Structure 1
Amino acid sequence: MAPGVNDAIRQLILNGRLNATSVMMPAAYIGADEVDALEMLNAGTTRAAIGLHVTLTAPFKPMSNGFAPLRGGAFPPINDMMRLAMTRRLDIELLTIEIATQLQAFLSAFGHMPDFVDGHQHVHLLPQVRNAFLRVVSEIAPNAWVRQCGRVRAGRALHDPKSLVLDVLSLGFKSQAARHGLTTNPAFAGAYAFTPKARFSRIFPRFLRGLPDGGLIMCHPGFVDSALQSLDPVTTLREHEFAFFNSDAFLHVLAESGVTLAQPSGEARGAA
């Protein structure tokens, strides 16, 4: 998304604090130098699975010609995409072409298919979008696993409306992915309210409750720079996440919970 985000993610992978990251091909900051720097982290020893972060929301722009609808030449904001998807007003063929274009761009940049495929702002879970998303992945990258966002029972806080929506959307997504022969991560955690009062070091331990082997925890570490500020409202919280993951406190939380990061294999499976 931005140079500061890229830098933070690479540092955490190098330090053994992350074992997966996904790439936004429509973003301006995934040129050849960034690709090489990320790939070098896996030279000799695979430190991280590398996936495609399918991007279909503003302020990013389509990579394919003729995509619609647009808002000022860019994808619609996520709330607009949700309304369009829920009322079945998206064009599945145009979605299919755009997602396939992003997947082919990943292949051209990295020289291999992604280990997994997910979606920016969870757009891949939406009705209509998931039809196109799962069709493209199953046809072009069938060995990639795809991210579902359903929590385990122990991690379901009923006062968290965002996560409840993700739970519901993931039910249909998982069953549809299975029909396409695609693997999904067995559980998901990491969603929280991006408010100034959020204390990530206090929030993180609850993500581990009941998480099974292969469970996935989403995170958003990064360093704030002008590029990030122009593209995304989540800024300083990214630095809080980076600080926690780069600290001894993170290692202590993992040890207390009996959790370790899974060794990335590049196979179609999730990573804890």
Structure 2
Amino acid sequence: MSGDKPLRRIRLCADDYGISPGVNRAIRDLIERERINATSVMVVGPAAGRHDVEALEAAVARNPHCVIGLHATLTAPFQPLTMHYRPRDGGLFPPLSKMLRASLLCRFEPEMILDEVTAQIAAFTERFGRAPDYVDGHQHVQIFPQVRGAFLSAVGNAAPGAWVRQCGRRQPLARRLGTPKALLLDILSAGFRRHAARAGIRFNPAFAGAYDFTKSDFAALMQTFLDGSPDGGLIMCHPGFVDDTLIALDPLTDQREREYAFLSGDGFRDMLAANRVTLG
């Protein structure tokens, strides 16, 4: 019976606040409903201005359990804040595939990544009047080789009280082998955790939420995420309403609306209760 299960507190984080007005609106609604308790802000996004920040702060004021983090962004189609950042692709960050390849081949200058992440932390601090509660990375760039050291140095220097997101699961190896994307995140996160531990920077004990976005049964996926999440674990999600800005910037569209529909509905509330999970 559900009453026999120990109560678990998890962080359910909606990524990409700032990417579009429709995504922002969905995230704020879920915060006010207390269906999520964290969101990561893309300060380089087109919908991360003063009005968007004020609206987010108003939503969080209605949900005292919600924290706000920085979604450090280093991939296209977004533009660096630092003028000297390289490499660029048509004035933008490189696409994800080039970013991962270059990091594995050690072709980056870590100083440029350090400066860019520091600039994004500074932009967050200027807009919110405080440092972020935590820092993670768009498309998981923070765990890439070469990137992770510079990323952690920037956080340690500019937001020393923040925790960071690692993307490794706590599951038996046999269960991890069936999901190649999540398995890659597991492997890269092992090095990230070692770097963070040496730097004395806190990180989440477990991670869930990576999946093939062509899958439409988000309720079934969420149940697997909850099954693999210990007390204190972090689950990411990407709820949103599709608008023209989102379509122009990101291929993840309709699935955001499916995530929002489930998270805002009674089924998710009942799932949390049945699994003895709290977002408090």
TM-score by length of 2: 0.91
Q: Which one of the candidate residues 107, 122, 128 is aligned to 1:89?
A: 107
1:239-258 equivalent positions in 2, closer than 5 A: 239-258=257-276
Q: Show structure 2 runs of 5+ residues with no match.
A: 1-18
1:260: how far off?
0.9
1:63 aligns with 2:65: no
* Root-mean-square deviation (Å): 1.2
1:48: how far off?
1.2
CA contact (8 A) 2:104 2:144 kept: yes
1:42: how far off?
3.0
Matched to 1:125, the amino acid is: I
| 3-state SS of 1:30 partner | coil
1:140-179 equivalent positions in 2, closer than 5 A: 140-153=158-171, 156-179=175-198
Q: Which one of the candidate residues 213, 232, 255 is aligned to 1:237?
A: 255
Structure 1 residue ranges (4+ consecutive) displaced by more than 6 angstroms after TM superposition: none
CA contact (8 A) 1:26 1:60 kept: yes
Q: Equivalents in 2 of 1:61, 1:188: separation in Å? A: 28
Matched to 1:83, the amino acid is: R
| 3-state SS of 1:127 partner | coil
Q: Which one of the candidate residues 200, 212, 217 is aligned to 1:193?
A: 212
Higher strand share: 2
CA contact (8 A) 1:13 1:47 kept: no
CA contact (8 A) 2:75 2:95 kept: yes
Residue 138 of structure 1: aligned partner: 156
Identity of aligned residues (%): 52
Q: Equivalents in 2 of 1:213, 1:23: separation in Å? A: 24
Q: Equivalents in 2 of 1:44, 1:256: separation in Å? A: 25
1:228 aligns with 2:263: no
1:37 aligns with 2:55: yes
1:145-184, CA deviations, whole angstroms, 9 ceiling, x for partnerless residues?
0000111115943121000000001101011101111100
| 3-state SS of 1:50 partner | strand
Q: Which one of the candidate residues 182, 192, 204 is aligned to 2:201?
A: 182
1:40: how far off?
1.4
TM-score by length of 1: 0.93
1:198: how far off?
2.6
Which segment drifts farther, 44-53 or 95-104?
Answer: 44-53
| 3-state SS of 2:257 partner | helix
